Amino acid sequence: MNSDEPLTPAGRLFLRPEINQIIHCLVGLKNSIDVDSVKSQIADSIMIQHPRFSSLLVRDRNGVEYWRRTSIEVDRHVIVVSDPVSDDVGGVNDEKAANEYLADLAISSSMDYSKPLWEIHLLLAHNCAVFRIHHALGDGISLMSLFLTCCRRADDPDALPTIVSDLKAVRTGNRGRRSCGEMMLEFLLTVWFSLLFVLEFIVRALWVCDRKTPISGGDGVELWPRKVATAKFALEDMKAVKKGVPNATINDVLFSVIGAGLSRYLEHRQPKGLKEGLQLTGVAMVNLREQPGLQDLSDMMKGNKGSRWGNKLGILLLPVNYYTKALDPLQYVKRTKKMLDRKKRTFEAHFSYGIGKLVMSFLGPKVACILNYRIVCNTSFTISNVIGPREEITIGGNPVTYIRVTSTSLSHALTMHMMSYAGRAEMQILVAKDIIPDPEFLAECFENALLEMKTAGATLTTK
C-alpha cells in the first residue's frame, strides 16, 4: 500500500454518485482522423507518463480511495465511432451531431474503473474527438495545461501554445499605489464583504433557494435527458464592450451577457410572469492558483507552491437579475462589474475550498457531498470559464478547428462552460431538455445580448 497515493478531498468528492463529474472536451479537427496514428501519438505522449493517467482507482476495506500505478493499454482507452452519430454529415451538421453525442454522454453511466479514468472517443465521420476525463484526475486548468503540452502552434510547429489571461484582474482588481487610509478601508471592506458572502454561502447550503423559474432544476434533475447547444462569441466583440465601461474585464462582460441573455429567454418563456429585478444565482468555479492561465506542467507535478496538480477550485455564488424594462445594454455590464468588484474583495472562493477540505477530512465525503448537492439544488445554474490558447494549434499535425468543454450533468437544468480559442469564445450550453427544450434559442439570446452591448459601446465612443 506504500506505493499508493491517496486522493485529494476534492477528488473524492467528484467520485460521489450524486456528483460524479466527468469532463468532456470536444476537439474539432480540420483533416480526417488516422486511428493508428492517434494511438501511436497517445502511446508516445507525456499523458501516458502522467501518474494520474496511468493509475487505477482502488478502495481499501474502509472505502478510502487511492491511486495505484498500472500499465496502459491504449486500445482500451480509444473508442472508435466509425458511423455517423447523426443522419446529416458536414459543416454545421457535424457540430450538431457532436453536441448530440455529448448530450448522451452527459447522463451516461460512470467510467470503467478497471482502467485509468480517461477515454478518447474518435467520431470519424464528423472529424472530431471527445476527451472524456474524470474530474477526480484534475481540474480544468490542470487538464488544459496537460492537453496543450501535447499540442503545437499552427504557425510554428516547434512552439507550444500560449495563453494570455486577465483572470488575475478578476481576483485582485486594478489597485495601484494606495495611501494608508485607502489600505485600511480596503481591509475593512474585505472583512465586511467576506462575512456577507460567507454567510450567504452557508445559508444556501442549508435552506435558502432561488425562486422557481422556467430554468430551475432540483433534486434528481441530474438524471434527466440532456441537450447541448453552442453559443459563439468573438473575443474582439467582448473587448469592444469592455472598453465601454471603465476598468471592466472580460469576465465582467461574460457574466453581463449571461444576465442579459437569461432575461431575454425568461421573458420569452414566461412573459410578464416574473418580478422585475428577480435574482437568479449561479455557481461559478474559480481557479485558486496564484498563477492564472496555463500552468508549467513540471511545476505542477513537483507540487510547487501555487501551481500544484489536481483540483484547486473554489465556488463563487454569482447573482444575476431579471430585467425586461428598457435598459441601456451597458448597464448590465456596470451592474455586473459592481457585483464582481465586491466579490474580488472577499475570500468566498477560498472559504468554500477550505470548508470543503475540512468537512471532507472530519465528516467524510458523504456529508461534503450533501452540502455541495444542496448548494446546487438551491441555485439556478452553473458557469465556468477556461482560457485556451490565443493562436491556432495542431495536435499530431492535424489543425484544431475548435475546442469546447462540457461535463456530465448536475441537478441544475442549465450548465454553461465557456472556452476561448484563437480569438473566439464558445460556450457549451448543457440543459435538461424537458425543462429547457430550446437551448439553441437560449444560445441566440446570449449572442444577441453581446452584439447589443457592442453596438451600445460603439455608439458611446462616437459621441
- Residues 294, 383, single domain; the answer is yes
- CATH number of the domain where residue 293 is located: 3.30.559.30
For the segment 106-127, the average pLDDT, to the nearest whole number, is: 90
For residues 26 and 148, membership in a common domain is answered with yes
pLDDT (0 to 100) of residue 168: 40
Answer yes or no: is 283 within a domain.
yes
Tally of CB atoms within 10 A around 220 = 10
* 170 lies in some domain: no
The pairing of beta strand 381-386 with beta strand 313-321: unpaired
Within-domain flag for 53: yes
CA 122 → CA 79, 216, 320, 377, 402, distances in Å? 6, 34, 38, 34, 15
Average pLDDT over residues 206-222: 91
Whether 376 shows a pLDDT value over 50: the answer reads yes
Q: How far apart are CA 434 and CA 448, in angstroms?
A: 24
Lowest mean pLDDT, pick from 29-38, 319-328, 407-416: 319-328
- The residue from 105, 138, 153 where one domain ends is 153
Task: Tell me how far apart the alpha carbons of residues 349 and 142 are, in angstroms, rounded to a whole number.
Answer: 18
Please tell me the distance from the alpha carbon of residue 194 to that of residue 201, in angstroms, as a whole number: 10
Whole-number percent of the chain with pLDDT over 70: 88
pLDDT for 280 equals: 94
CATH number at residue 123: 3.30.559.10
**Amino acid identity, position 48:** I
Count: domains in the chain: 2
Q: How far apart are CA 388 and CA 293, in angstroms?
A: 8
Out of 222-231, 298-307, 369-378, 379-388, the most confident range is 222-231
Q: Is 32 part of a structural domain of the chain?
A: yes
Q: Are residues 211 and 140 in the same domain?
A: no
207 and 63, same structural domain? no
318 and 404 together in one domain: yes
185/303: higher pLDDT: 185
How many whole angstroms separate alpha carbon 378 and alpha carbon 382? 12
Active site residues: 135
- Whole-number Å distance between alpha carbons of 45 and 22: 22
Sign of the dihedral through C-alpha 5, 8, 9, 11 = negative
Q: Which of 264-278, 307-321, 373-387, 398-412 has the lowest mean pLDDT?
A: 307-321
pLDDT of residue 295: 45
Same domain, 285 and 393: yes
Same domain, 421 and 344: yes
Question: Please, are residues 50 and 91 in contact by the beta-carbon 8 Å criterion?
Answer: no
Host H or E run for residue 77: helix 74-77
Cα–Cα dist 95/87, whole Å: 12
Residues 190 and 138 grouped into a single domain: no
Task: State the DSSP string of 47-59.
Answer: HHHSTTTTEEEEE
Residue 117 near residue 138 (C-beta atoms within 8 A)? no
145 and 69 both lie in a single domain: yes
Domain of 198 in residue numbering reads as: 185-462
417: cell is: 462552460
* pLDDT at position 35 over 80: yes
**What is the overall mean pLDDT for the chain?**
85
Please check whether residue 176 lies inside any domain of the structure.
no
Please check whether residues 372 and 449 belong to one and the same domain.
yes
The cell for 408 is 456530465
pLDDT digits (tens, 9 = 90+) for 134-184: 998 988 888 888 888 888 999 998 888 876 544 343 343 444 556 777 677
Q: Which of these ranges, 122-126, 239-243, 291-295, 405-409, has the smallest mean pLDDT?
A: 291-295
Greater confidence (443 vs 166) lies with 443
∠225-226-232 over CA atoms, to 5°? Answer: 175
Strands, sheet with 55-59, edge to edge from the N-terminal-most edge strand: 5-6, 65-69, 55-59
Which one of 96, 130, 153 terminates a domain? 153
Q: Mark whether 85 and 203 lie in a shared domain.
A: no
**pLDDT score recorded for residue 12:** 82
Q: Containing H/E element for 118?
A: strand 118-123
Task: Find out whether 422 and 391 touch, Cβ atoms under 8 Å.
Answer: yes
Query: Predicted confidence band at 91 (pLDDT cuts at 50, 70, 90)?
Result: low
**Residue 236 maps to a domain:** yes
Of 134, 153, 172, which residue sits at a domain end?
153
pLDDT of residue 448: 96
C-alpha–C-alpha distance, residues 325 and 434, integer Å:
29
Q: What is the pLDDT of residue 197?
A: 73
Mean pLDDT of 432-453: 96
pLDDT confidence of residue 381: 96
The answer to which of 54-63, 156-165, 168-177, 202-211 has the lowest mean pLDDT is 168-177
The grid cell for 293 is 492561465
Q: Is residue 73 part of a domain?
A: yes
DSSP string, 198-252: HHHHHHHHHT--PPP-TT---TTGGGS-EEEEEEEEEHHHHHHHHHTSTT--HHH
Determine, yes or no, domain membership for 169: no
Question: Do 111 and 196 belong to one domain?
Answer: no
